[in-house]
Each structure stands twice: as C-alpha cells, then as structure tokens.
Structure 1
Amino acid sequence: MGDAHGPTVVIGLGRFGSAIALELTRQGDEVLAIDSSNRTVQALSSELAQVVTADCTDLETLRQLGVGDCRHAVVAIGEHLEDNILVTSLLVDLGVPDIWAKATSAHHGRILERLGAHHVIFPEQDMGQRVAHLVAGNVLDYLRIDGDFALAKIRPPRDVVDVPLHRTEVRSKHGVTVVAIKRGDDAFTYATNETVVSRDDVILAVGHSDDIERLVGDG
C-alpha cells in the first residue's frame, strides 16, 4: 500500500481508518479519505489534505470522487456490516486493483474474499492476540503476518544461547528461524548462521505461532 503506485482511498474514518489515513499521509502518500459523518470529516480536515463527507454505498458517488482511479483502497467501515460488504463489492466493480477490507469475524472475512477483496484485515483479532502475548509475558512484541505465521520479538531461550545459530536446533527442533538480533542499545542486525546469541540479547524469530510459543516455553 502506498503512493508509489497511485493514490489510496480510505473509506470509514473511525479509529482504525483514521489511523491508516493519517499514517499514509505522514509517509507522504496521496490519500483520499471518506466518511459518512460530517463531524468526523471536520475533525480530520486540518490533518488530511483530501477528506470528504459522502455515502460510499452509491456507485455513482464513488465514480464522481475518482475512487476508480485509485490504486489502493481500504474499507475501514466497522460498525455497519452491510455497508462494509457493499462498499467492497462496489470497489471490485470499479476495478480498483488493490483492495484491503476490514473484517470483524472469520465468516465476514470469507464473504469479503469471495467478493474480490485482495486483502482481508482482522484488526481486533490481531491486536487481541498481540496483547495476549504481551500480558502473558511470553514475548516482548508479536505480529501475526499471515494465517498462523508470526514474527516475535523475544528473549533468547537457552537452546540458542552461546553457540552459533547453525549449531542450535532452533529450526530443526522448533521450526523457527532467528532473523535478527539486538545487543544492548545497538540497533537490530540481521542474524547469520555464525551469529552467537547472548542471554541478554533480544531476537526476532519468525515461524508458526505454536512453534514460537513452544520455543519461548523452553526458555
């Protein structure tokens, strides 16, 4: 998602949609932000260059706003399921080549995929998983990448400490790959087969969620 390949339209400016629109704008991307609430639009008008009040469940309205010319679209409508689904289908009809749609459940997500959404986002579920890992104290940070595949920032378990990574069983035993390491106040650096991890280091590990949890559990 980004301006390198054309503008992005963000439809629905609740907490999730407005955060996306503001961050894309901060990155220098061209953003068209739309919401049905005039109050919401007015609140964001000083921070977003193109923010308009409109009913995006109407195909002609989307055409008039130039949505069909956008390279990327984010459907961030959360409260009204029917509107979320209808807007996604209209974006497909307009031929928008990269559609990201917010889903509130697995069933909702399957509907969006069948309609033609290229990416289905589960913000509440993903954030819930991340916070659960942080609360449990298992990891320092956690990001679900796709399905049950995740990237975790963790303290190194004893299996990977004080020996080169190629001599550990982290991949063969746990199915997890250590991709980066942070030592003290230094920045993260890429890990290699010869990298030796110390107990006080922080590592980035990628793998299936269950495998990462087993690795952390062995720490």
Structure 2
Amino acid sequence: MQRSRPHDKRVLVIGLGRFGSSLALELVAHGWEVLGMDSNPRLVQAFSESLTHTVVADGTDDEALRQIGAHEFTRAVVAIGTHLEESILAASLLVDMGVPHIWAKATSRRHGRILQQIGAHHVVLPEHDMGERVAHLVSGRMLDYVEIEEDFALGKTRAPREMIGRKLGETKVRTKHGITVVCIKRHGEQFTYATAETIPQKGDVIVVAGKTDDVEKFAEIA
C-alpha cells in the first residue's frame, strides 16, 4: 500500500459538477495541483484553463483511472453525487488502488454509510450539512455552527451574562453545561485560545465545543 506523502500537493477530483468544480477551484487557489476528471466534455472544457490538468474520462472505469495515474495520487475526491452507483463504484476503485486519502460526496446519510463501508476515508454531505448549519443559525442565537461528527459540534456565540467578569475556571461551564470554551474574541481583536484564567467581557464572542444538544442549549442562554 502507498504511503502518504505529506508534501505531495496533488489532488484528483472526479466529477466537475457544482460541488466538484467549486472544490477544485478552491484547491488551485490555495496552491494545489488539481487533476479534474469528468465524463462530460463540456464540463471538462469549461474548466480546462482554470485547473492544473483536466481529462475527459469515466470515473467508474478501472482502466481509465489507471491510465490517468489515479493510483499514484495520495488524495482523491469523488464528487459524483447525483448517481449513487457511479459514486460508489468510483470510490471502490480508488480504495482497491490503495489511494491513502479518499473523500467522497454523499447525498444522504444512507449513501454516506455505504461509502464508509466500502472504505472511503472521509464522507461529505454538503447539502445536508449546509442545511443543518443554516437551520441552527436561523432558529437559535448561534453566530456560526459546525458539526464535527454526528452528535459533536462547535458553536460560535456571545459570552453569556453568567460568564462576564469571571475567570472561566470559576464558572464551571463544563460541569454545568457540558461544553468547553475553546477560544474567545474581543471586539477589534483576533481569536485567542481560552484558558481557565480567561475573563470574558461583555460583547465577547466565544467558540464552544461539546455534544450537539449541549452546544445548542448553551447558545440559548447567551
């Protein structure tokens, strides 16, 4: 099996639809070398000048993947989301080739579980995750929300009144609310790590981590 090469900044992106192309362009903007692959010639042509390399090929074809050197990549993204069977087959082929880091887009939890079962290392549910994130922002008092994995999240919110003017170590927030204050930001300043000696002030923004329900409940008291 291949070993991960930490300085290898090459990524294979299979599928240049909205998600795949957006991801590929962002990677290029951050200095990565991206090989974009799609069976649709029009999509490949559209991004031929924006990505490092592009190729018209079928991501479910083992021989096509080997011809473009897919097995030589340490990172690959299967961005095929609308066709379940194609997504699963493409991911399965990359797993069989020993690609060390495979990300795969899923359109549902069930799709995601199948991708994990066949060996995809990271599963992304962009529509589901964004919908969930916005729902938390609309319905609660959180300024931002990210689910790290099922039932564990990070939430950005205002420091509640019970914390103002007190050292975090004295507030016992972990015992009372089941969350940990990770970092804090004062107006006009950057985020800094929070410690037991940190004293939140009125208007400070904090980032907390914990089980999803605990993070949601804590944001409501802010």
TM-score (norm. length: structure 2): 0.94
Check the 8 A contact 2:140/2:219 in 1, yes or no. no
Q: Which moved more, 1:6-15 or 1:182-191?
A: 6-15
**Inter-partner Cα distance in structure 2 for 1:36 and 1:159:** 57
Q: Could you tell me which of 23, 47, 71 is aligned with 1:20?
A: 23
**Inter-partner Cα distance in structure 2 for 1:2 and 1:206:** 31
Shift of 1:2: 9.5
Check the 8 A contact 1:2/1:72 in 2, yes or no. no
Check the 8 A contact 2:140/2:220 in 1, yes or no. no
- Aligned residue for 1:68? 71
- Aligned AA (2:95): V
**Inter-partner Cα distance in structure 2 for 1:111 and 1:37:** 25
Shift of 1:199: 2.1
- Structure 1 residue matching 2:203: 3-state secondary structure: coil
Q: How many residues align?
A: 219
- Percent of matched pairs sharing the same residue: 56
The alignment yields a C-alpha RMSD, in angstroms, of 1.6
> Unaligned 5+ residue runs, structure 2?
none
Q: Could you tell me which of 203, 216, 220 is aligned with 1:217?
A: 220
Residue 93 (structure 2) pairs with residue 90 (structure 1): yes
Q: Following superposition, which runs of at least 4 residues in structure 1 exceed 2 angstroms of deviation?
A: 1-6
Shift of 1:137: 4.1
**Inter-partner Cα distance in structure 1 for 2:118 and 2:101:** 13
Check the 8 A contact 2:153/2:209 in 1, yes or no. yes
- Structure 2 residue matching 1:198: 3-state secondary structure: coil
TM-score (norm. length: structure 1): 0.95
Q: Deviations over 1:118-148 (max 9, x none)?
A: 1111111111111111212421111111122
Q: Could you tell me which of 72, 77, 81 is aligned with 2:80?
A: 77
Shift of 1:24: 1.2
Residue 138 (structure 2) pairs with residue 135 (structure 1): yes
Check the 8 A contact 1:32/1:51 in 2, yes or no. yes
**Inter-partner Cα distance in structure 1 for 2:208 and 2:143:** 11
Check the 8 A contact 1:7/1:30 in 2, yes or no. yes
Q: Deviations over 1:156-182 (max 9, x none)?
A: 122322200001121111111111111
- Structure 2 residue matching 1:206: 3-state secondary structure: strand
**Inter-partner Cα distance in structure 2 for 1:91 and 1:136:** 40
Residue 119 (structure 2) pairs with residue 103 (structure 1): no
Residue 184 (structure 2) pairs with residue 184 (structure 1): no
**Inter-partner Cα distance in structure 2 for 1:135 and 1:46:** 39
